[in-house]
């Protein structure tokens, strides 16, 4: 059997690994990647001779996919967890503790955001349970639309936007409730009388386990292990320019006939490849917009007096150019003993990718200046590097779940073809890995 996996990010690599594990050495497996490297939006680089992730650097701890993969691949010793320090929010020209007992920054009561928003907003949150709620079963809205109407614009800008910006590189106005916060949508569908009650129902139960996990030597270790275990023929710098259904399978340009295909490609690429084969699925994928961002990794003197926090998120409307800082040497114990103090600065949100056009020197200077502002320190990095992510994150806009359901229904009619990727059921690394596994299982079941 000859199978093509199109897209060499984590979704495609997991699909390839699962197919190899199931079908063995007789499988002719070809992995095509349009970029000059594998990994997609995961990348580990050397900074001062030590590995640093300049894409995603953590995964949700309660999901099992990444620990399970590490265990399967003999990499369990790579699993690390944060030190447990809390982030700060920069709002109104000063830092505030990140509110607790929120759902992606949406408060469960006025005391949750006291000090972060003004008294009028606190009174509005307190009054919210007394106001009638307009929510129809099965409908969707942007997170901003729902939260601003019930709790006020300050909650969106100062509490919700900073958190959504970290996950989607977007804002609450570009993200839909149903796809991004399914537990909240379920509570509203079940008849929660107000947003406060819905948040209380949707909050996950308290847990003593770690919220996040990471890899000691970076995601590059996992990517290489998956590539080695899958043992595909790798074709980098090779965009797929055509996909045609044949009597016995598929014609994939430029590699020819294959028995089956996994499209682990970004939504616009998937849309282009499916346009003549499955126009409804192509239209659904083509309607998903992407956000661009950039990461600046800074190596500071080891004795730099960084705040004793895991990071600093920036509220919407602030004069800073960066949207967030990860104080990596504070967040991760395994990084604390390095010769340099590590900080990651993030730039770019949906609808504003201007920072990506700045030269590296300008981005680094902006990162240093903004970090100096929020810490009150005079900072001079010893080394720095820039990673740009153009179109790196899909936006889960209102109606996303219906769009993906329509796409999946049409793909289901196509024999020996499966799709995977961050635009389907979650942008996090575990969700992408799960999509790769699901794609492989679809092909194997046929």
**How does pLDDT run across 226-255, given as a tens digit for each residue?**
999 999 999 999 999 999 999 989 999 999
**Statement: residue 352 has pLDDT above 90:** no
Which residues have a Cβ under 8 Å from the Cβ of 379 and sit 6 or more positions away? 298, 300, 304, 368, 371, 372
Per-residue b or e along 146-173, where b marks 16 or more CB atoms closer than 10 Å to that residue's CB: bbbebbbebbbbbbbbbbbbbebbbbbb
Q: DSSP labels for 15-55? A: HHHHHHHHHGGG-EEEEE-SSSSS-TT--EEEETTEEEESS
Give the Cα separation of 119 and 404 in Å (integer).
Answer: 41
Q: Residue 300: in which H helix or E strand, if any? A: strand 290-301
Rounded CA-CA distance 183/286 in Å is 27
Q: How confident is the model at residue 14 (pLDDT cuts 50, 70, 90)?
A: very high
**Residues whose CB falls within 8 Å of the CB of residue 32, separated by 6 or more in sequence, listed in order:** 4, 5, 6, 7, 8, 235, 238, 239, 240, 252, 255
**Tell me, what's the pLDDT at 351?**
86
Quick one: which of 322, 334, 323, 326 has its CA closest to 310? 326
Give the pLDDT of residue 209. 80
* Interatomic CA distance for residues 141 and 19, integer angstroms: 38
Structure-token match 């790769």, residue found? 436
> Cα–Cα distance between 341 and 350 in angstroms, integer?
30
Assess contact for 95 and 89: CB atoms under 8 A: yes
Residue with structure tokens 């299982």? Answer: 441
Tens digits of per-residue pLDDT, 47-103? Answer: 999 999 999 999 998 899 999 999 999 999 999 999 999 999 999 999 999 999 999
Q: What is the mean pLDDT of residues 288-303?
A: 97
Both structure tokens of 353: 């990718």
Q: Give me the pLDDT at residue 311, please.
A: 97
Q: Is the pLDDT of residue 207 over 80?
A: no
SS3 label, residue 149: helix
How far is residue 396's CA from residue 426's CA, in Å, rounded to a whole number?
A: 9
| Res 208 pLDDT > 80 | no
pTM: 0.96
- Residue 129 neighbours by CB under 8 Å, 6+ apart: 193, 194, 196, 197
CA atoms of 196 and 230, how far apart (whole Å): 48
Q: Which two tokens stand for residue 68?
A: 């399970």
Q: How far apart are CA 207 and CA 257, in angstroms?
A: 50
The predicted structure's pLDDT at residue 365: 98
Give yes or no for residue 349 having a pLDDT over 80: yes
Per-residue tokens: 233? 């023929």
Q: CA quadruple 375, 376, 382, 387: dihedral positive or negative? A: positive
What value does the mean pLDDT take over residues 20-35? 98
**CA nearest 54: which of 263, 347, 264?**
347
Q: What is the pLDDT of residues 103-153, one digit of tens each?
A: 999 999 999 999 999 999 999 999 999 999 999 999 999 999 999 999 999
**CB 170 within 8 Å of CB 164:** yes
**Is the pLDDT reported for residue 446 higher than 90?**
no
CA distance 358 to 361: 8
Q: Which residue(s) pair with 340 in the sheet?
A: 301
Give the pLDDT of residue 193.
96
Q: State the chain's mean pLDDT as an integer.
A: 96
pLDDT cut 90: percent of the chain above it: 94
pLDDT tens-digit profile of 170-204?
A: 899 999 999 999 999 999 999 999 999 999 999 98
Q: How far apart are CA 295 and CA 322, in angstroms?
A: 9
> How far is the C-alpha of 170 from the C-alpha of 336, rounded, in Å?
30
Residues forming a β-bridge with 293: 389
Q: What pLDDT, on the 0 to 100 scale, is given for residue 434?
A: 98
């Amino acid at each position: 059997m000859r199978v093509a996996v199109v897209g060499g990010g984590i979704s495609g690599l997991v699909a390839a690994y699962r197919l190899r594990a199931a079908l063995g050495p007789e499988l002719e497996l070809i992995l095509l990647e349009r970029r000059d490297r594998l990994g997609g939006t995961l990348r580990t680089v050397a900074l001062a001779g030590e590995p640093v992730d300049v894409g995603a650097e953590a995964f949700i701890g309660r999901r099992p996919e990444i620990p399970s993969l590490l265990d399967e691949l003999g990499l369990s010793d790579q699993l690390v967890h944060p030190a447990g320090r809390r982030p700060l929010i920069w709002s109104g020209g000063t830092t505030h503790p990140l509110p607790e007992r929120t759902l992606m920054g949406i408060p469960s009561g006025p005391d949750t955001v006291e000090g972060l928003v003004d008294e009028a907003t606190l009174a509005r949150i307190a009054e919210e349970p007394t106001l009638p709620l307009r929510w129809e079963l099965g409908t969707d809205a942007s997170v901003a639309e729902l939260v601003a109407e019930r709790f006020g614009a300050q909650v969106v800008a100062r509490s919700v936007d900073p958190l959504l910006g970290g996950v989607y590189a977007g804002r609450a106005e570009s993200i839909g409730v149903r796809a991004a916060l399914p537990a909240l949508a379920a509570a509203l569908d079940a008849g929660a009388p107000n947003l406060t009650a819905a948040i209380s129902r949707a909050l996950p139960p308290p847990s003593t386990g770690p919220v996040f996990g990471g890899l000691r030597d970076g995601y590059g270790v996992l990517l290489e292990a998956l590539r080695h275990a899958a043992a595909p023929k790798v074709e980098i710098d090779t965009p797929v320019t055509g996909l045609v259904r044949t009597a016995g399978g598929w014609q994939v340009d430029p590699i020819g006939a294959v028995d089956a295909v996994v499209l682990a490609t970004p939504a616009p690429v998937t849309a282009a490849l499916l346009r003549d084969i499955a126009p409804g699925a192509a239209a659904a994928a083509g309607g998903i917009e992407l956000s661009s961002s950039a990461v600046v990794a800074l190596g500071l003197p080891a004795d730099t007096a960084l705040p004793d926090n895991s990071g600093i998120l920036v509220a919407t409307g602030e004069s800073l150019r960066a949207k967030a800082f990860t104080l990596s040497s504070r967040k991760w114990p395994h990084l604390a003993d390095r010769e340099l103090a590590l900080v990651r600065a993030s730039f770019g949100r949906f609808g504003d990718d201007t920072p990506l056009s700045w030269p590296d020197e300008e981005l680094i200077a902006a990162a240093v200046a903004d970090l100096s502002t929020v810490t009150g320190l005079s900072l001079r990095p010893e080394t720095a590097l820039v990673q740009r992510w153009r179109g790196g994150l899909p936006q889960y806009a209102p109606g996303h779940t219906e769009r993906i359901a329509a796409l999946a229904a049409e793909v289901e009619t196509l024999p020996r073809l499966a799709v995977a990727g961050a635009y389907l059921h979650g942008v996090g690394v575990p969700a992408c890995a799960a999509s790769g596994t699901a794609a492989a299982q679809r092909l194997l079941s046929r």
